[in-house]
A = this chain, B = another copy of it.
Amino acid sequence: MVQIPKPPAPESLAPRSVPTSADVARLAGVSRATVSYVLNNTSAVRISEPTRRRVHQAARELGYVPHAAARSLRAGHSRTVLMPAPSFPVGPLYSRFIGELQWALGRLDYTVVQYGTVGRHDDEAARCWAELRPVAVLVPGSGLGPRGVDVLKRSGARAVVTLGPEAVEGAHALLMDHETVGHAAARHLYDRGRRRIGVVVPAENGLELFSAPRLTGARRAVRDTDATVTELPLAYEERGAARLAARWGSLGLDAVFAYNDEYAMLLMRALQDEGLGIPGDAAVIGADDLMLGRLLRPRLSTVHLEMPSGRDLAALVDRAVHDPGAAPERHTVLGAAVVHRESS
């Protein structure tokens, strides 16, 4: 292991000879105000092309870049959109959505910053985020309450948008309704003639936010029918799946909604290793419509999720920043459609 030396006195931490806008002004032979106008692209003041060029060249020569923090202090606000890094394991679907969102916000001239606040919750997390003085905060998952929203707004955030299964007072909400995912899956199994439906609930931390509403949705789908829903806790590892498969017969189930495609692959393999036929002995459906489902034999049925468009969400953030007094918007953004293949 590497040795961490004792930190030196704080004075020595200050960067040495960092070029300032005054240096640029001196080299270009203009005022500091002119440097600021040119480098911040202010349109309010007309500056001749040769002067502009001189300032840019001096900045390049000295290696000067404007200081975002100083600029936002002067302006009284920043263009920073803060996104706390999600506390749950992120799948490829979500990654793609985040990438699209960052691109769309970048086009509207916002700077998206992702920030991990490991192990902090609600108020405490909100205070950490507030220290960065973001103009907007986009919170995926849960973990932010009305008090956290208040802290953020009081520190100058003009928009707080949550992205998850529940709305929070004072914040805009993109509601991801995971009940519809479970509902669609169980309904499909019911329509295929199955009556004793298992629903996998991952044992991993952070996923109950998605698994609980999926289970609720599945129960709702077969309410007032002759079908039953059985909760099946399962960790993402082979041994637990083998144990579950070994007692499959005693459970009396004829179908399973396996939470998502990855858990479906895990459980389907364990069932097949036990000699059970898919879908004969057990119909299996996953969710997320990942590539791997198409590569399984039998091919995996799945629930395809339609994520919100990053462009729409970026537009909502921008709208909210320009009108912070507007009533919170609520949008339900998660679509769910069954893709029927061979496993169900």
Contacts and interface: CB of A to CB of B under 8 A. Distances in A.
Interface of A: 1-2, 4-5, 7-8, 10, 13-15, 18-19, 62-70, 72-73, 75-78, 85, 89-90, 92, 95, 99, 102-103, 106, 111-116, 118, 127, 130-133, 150-151, 154-158, 236-238, 262, 265-266, 269, 291-292, 294-295, 297, 311-312, 315-316, 318-319, 321-323
Contacts of A99: 116
Given A13-B77, A115-B114, A316 B265 contact: no
A295 B265 CA distance: 8
26 contacts: A4-B315, A10-B75, A13-B75, A13-B322, A14-B77, A15-B156, A15-B158, A18-B154, A18-B155, A18-B156, A64-B155, A68-B69, A69-B70, A89-B92, A89-B95, A103-B116, A106-B116, A112-B116, A114-B114, A114-B116, A236-B291, A238-B291, A238-B295, A262-B291, A269-B295, A292-B292
Contacts of A155: 18-19, 63-65
A77 B15 contact: yes
B316 A295 contact: no
B265 A292 contact: yes
Given A63-B155, A68-B133, A90-B95, A5 B322 contact: yes
A118 B112 CA distance: 11
A5 B295 contact: no
Nearest to A72: B69
Contacts of A69: 68-70, 72-73, 78, 132-133
B65 A151 contact: yes
Q: How many copies of the shown chain assemble into the complex?
A: 2
Nearest to A2: B315
Contacts of A113: 113-115
A63 B102 contact: no
A315 B322 CA distance: 42
Given A18-B154, A69-B72, A4 B111 contact: no
B115 A2 contact: no
A4 B318 contact: yes
A263 to B, nearest CB: 11
Given A103-B118, A114-B115, A265-B295, A319 B4 contact: yes
A278 to B, nearest CB: 13
Contacts of A295: 238, 265-266, 269
Contacts of A115: 111-114
A340 B118 CA distance: 36
Contacts of A5: 319, 322-323
A69 B155 CA distance: 13
Contacts of A75: 10, 13-14
A297 B265 CA distance: 12
A25 B23 CA distance: 36
A51 to B, nearest CB: 21
A1 B77 contact: no
A154 B63 CA distance: 6
Nearest to A151: B63
